[in-house]
Amino acid sequence: MNCYGTQKAASRSVLAVGVVIVIIIAAIAGYFVLTNLGHASTTSRVNIKFYESLAPSEAAYFQGTIIPQFESQYPNVNVTLVNLPSASQVATDVEALEKGNDVGASLVGIDNLVVGELIYGNYLMNLTPIISTMEPSGLIQSAVNMINYENQVYKAVYFIPFRSNIPLVFYSKTAFQNAGITSPPATYTELLQDAQKLKAAGYSGPVMFQGHGGASTPTELYQWMVQFGGNPFLFNDSGDVEAFQFLWNLSSYFSPEYIHGYWGSYVGLAQGTYQILDYQWPYVYNLLTTNASLGMTNQTLGVYPGPAGPVNDNHLLGGDVLVIPKGVSDLTQIEEFANFLLGAQAQRETLINLSWVAVNSAAYQNLPANFSAVGTALEQAVNTGVFLRNPTPWITQWNSLADDAWTKIIVDHASYSQIQSILNAENQQLYEYLASNYNSTVAQQYEQNAYKPISVS
């Protein structure tokens, strides 16, 4: 074969190889195109950060059960729980994210008391355009009333109720029986009488109060003052004064541990260092009865809504609301996660396992029998009436002044005759704070009872 023939044959071979390579490349490219088209939802995962402030047991259940359930239904979304030490820290972090243009895909659960700071700071997205698709169809009435309140006050919707909470009273059935008490106190007058009976039976400090300060003490004081007919924000109306006067008398029967008491104080009830635990969140029931080292059972642990005040037996509705910071990305996926959290499945499971008051009415259908003790107490509390603290942006200052009043009147045990003047002084300090840090109009509104508790029952 001549050189030309050899070159021609070689060219045919190269061409053939080239065609094969092109076919292989095309086939590979086609495979990847088809593969990518078939799995488009898995190639770009969305990472949502969910900011909350949960107790350790709540956070563990949320991470181990609720989030995995959502992720199994939405495999293109990953959720990370950012559990912060306090509701105030949640607010601080949201402010920092918004100011730093670092919001990303974020959903936030925050105490309904603190949310006012974010609303007035203009850090939250207006949910009005999407609220109809976010809220469940069976939203309980108190949650509906909260949203109506937002529309009335803010002319927009910035938050939606997520998990409600009503504090309950826990007591030792054994100690009550030993003291000859057949049923827990129905009124505050009976509470004082039963405290006297328990002390006479050998229980030196039978009553536990959340007296360590911070947010716990003002929260408990708020409900006490409302049940005495007061507006806690004013400090010195007649109901507020009467509540502190009663607590001054009751403090003679406080456990010495009360100065350290807060939402995490419950172990002493099982250990016998006190016999009635005033106002704790419902999840405490499971902690006391499922921990073998504490040894409490349905037969030894009592739980009920608590005694009624002289004016009403309305209960503080605490808990968290869902908000979306301004400037978020991946809003569709955030809505999906919010819808899941508000759905019947998640609401039912957190009701049963964490004793969170569900805001979705479907969660209450066919509850298990072993949930009856807490479930009955929560139902009784809701039926007697619930209210919210007004979400003012200056709640931190009020908390500080309420702590100051508590310390002077109860911890330092001022004379009974000084109670009125101490509360007058706290009222004046808050008035001056509002006039200085806001304006005279806000201060005058404060004095005119504009920031009274919100009835949502």
List, as one string, the DSSP characters of 275-295. SEEEEE-TTHHHHHHH-TTT-
**Cα→Cα distances 438→67, 115, 158, 442, 444, Å:** 41, 18, 22, 7, 11
Q: Please report the pLDDT score of residue 282 as a whole number.
A: 87
Q: Rounded distance, CA 214 to CA 87, Å? A: 12
- Domain-located, residue 382: no
Asked if residue 15 is part of any domain, the answer here is yes
Structurally, the chain folds into a number of domains equal to 3
105 touches 47 (CB < 8 A):
yes
Q: Which helix (H) or strand (E) covers residue 49, if one does?
A: strand 46-52
- Is residue 149 domain-shared with residue 84, that is, in the same domain? yes
Contact 206, 252 (CB under 8 A): no
CA distances in angstroms from 231 to 51, 228, 240, 405, 437, listed in the order given: 31, 9, 7, 15, 22
Q: What pLDDT does 186 receive?
A: 97
Q: Write out the two tokens for 335.
A: 């809505």
Measured distance CA(40)–CA(213) in Å, rounded: 53
Which secondary structure element, helix H or strand E, spans residue 336, and what is its range?
helix 331-342
Both tokens of 368, joined, read: 């298990």
Same domain? For 195 and 245 the reply is yes
Domain boundary among 377, 403, 421: 377
Sign of the torsion angle spanned by Cα atoms 96, 98, 103, 109: positive
Answer whether residue 267 is part of any domain: yes
Say what the pLDDT of residue 457 is.
64
Q: Tell the residue number behind the tokens 């209450």, with chain if given.
A: 364
Residues with Cβ < 8 Å from 332, sequence gap 6 or more? none
CA 93 to chain centre: 16
Has residue 242 been placed in a domain? yes
Range of the domain at 368: 42-162+321-377
| Partners of residue 50 on adjacent β-strands | 81, 107
Q: Using CA atoms, how far apart are residues 84 and 94, in angstroms rounded to an integer? A: 11
Residue 116 belongs to a domain: yes
Q: Are residues 232 and 295 located together in one domain of the fold?
A: yes
Beta bridge partners of 357: 164
- Write out the chain's pLDDT in tens, 457 residues: 433 333 333 344 433 434 333 333 344 344 333 333 333 334 588 999 999 999 898 999 999 999 999 999 999 999 999 999 988 899 999 999 999 999 999 999 998 878 888 998 999 999 999 998 888 888 888 788 888 888 988 899 999 999 888 899 999 999 999 999 999 999 999 999 999 999 999 999 999 999 999 888 999 999 999 999 999 999 999 999 999 999 999 999 999 999 999 888 899 999 999 999 988 888 888 889 888 899 899 899 999 999 999 999 999 888 899 999 999 999 999 999 999 999 999 999 998 888 888 889 898 888 887 677 887 888 788 777 788 788 788 988 999 999 999 999 999 999 999 999 999 999 999 999 999 999 999 999 999 999 998 887 6
Return d(Cα 430, Cα 433) in angstroms, integer. 5
> Are 111 and 211 in a shared domain?
no
The amino acid that residue 376 corresponds to is T
Residue 355 in any domain: the answer is: yes
Return contacts of 58-66, CB within 8 angstroms, 24+ apart.
58/283, 58/354, 59/83, 61/350, 61/353, 61/354, 65/349, 65/353, 66/341, 66/346, 66/349, 66/350
Residues 177 and 304 in one domain: yes
DSSP H/E element including 48 = strand 46-52
Q: At what angle do helices 216-227 and 395-406 cross, to 10 degrees?
A: 80
Q: Order of strands across the sheet with 315-316?
A: 315-316, 386-388, 454-455
Strand (E) or helix (H) holding 30: helix 3-38
180 alpha-carbon distance from chain centroid: 37
Any domain includes 8: yes
Q: Do 287 and 403 fall into the same domain?
A: yes
Let me know whether 338 and 268 are in one domain: no
For the purposes of burial, counting CB atoms within 10 Å of the CB of 21, is it exposed (0-12), middle (13-18) or buried (19 or more)? exposed
For residues 86 and 155, membership in a common domain is answered with yes
Please provide the DSSP assignment of 343-397 as one string.
SHHHHHHHHHHH--B-SBGGGGTT--GGGHHHHHHHHHHHHH-EEE----TTHHH
Q: Strand pairing partners for 52? A: 83
User: Does an H or E element contain 8, and which?
Assistant: helix 3-38
Same domain for 139 and 57:
yes
Residue 280 inside a domain? The answer is: yes
Question: Do 297 and 356 share a domain, yes or no?
Answer: no
**Residue 86 maps to which CATH number?**
3.40.190.10
Q: Where are the beta strands (DSSP E) in 173-292?
A: 207-208, 276-280
Helix 395-406 and helix 419-437, axial crossing angle in degrees, nearest 10: 160
Distance of CA 408 to the CA centre of its chain: 29
pTM above 0.85, yes or no: no
State the amino acid at position 229 in one-letter form.
G
Note whether 220 and 235 are same-domain residues: yes
**Can you tell me the distance from the alpha carbon of 355 to that of 364, in angstroms, rounded to the nearest whole number?**
12
Nearest CA to 243 out of 261, 224, 256, 260 is that of 224
Q: State the pLDDT at residue 125.
A: 96
Are 353 and 443 in a shared domain?
no
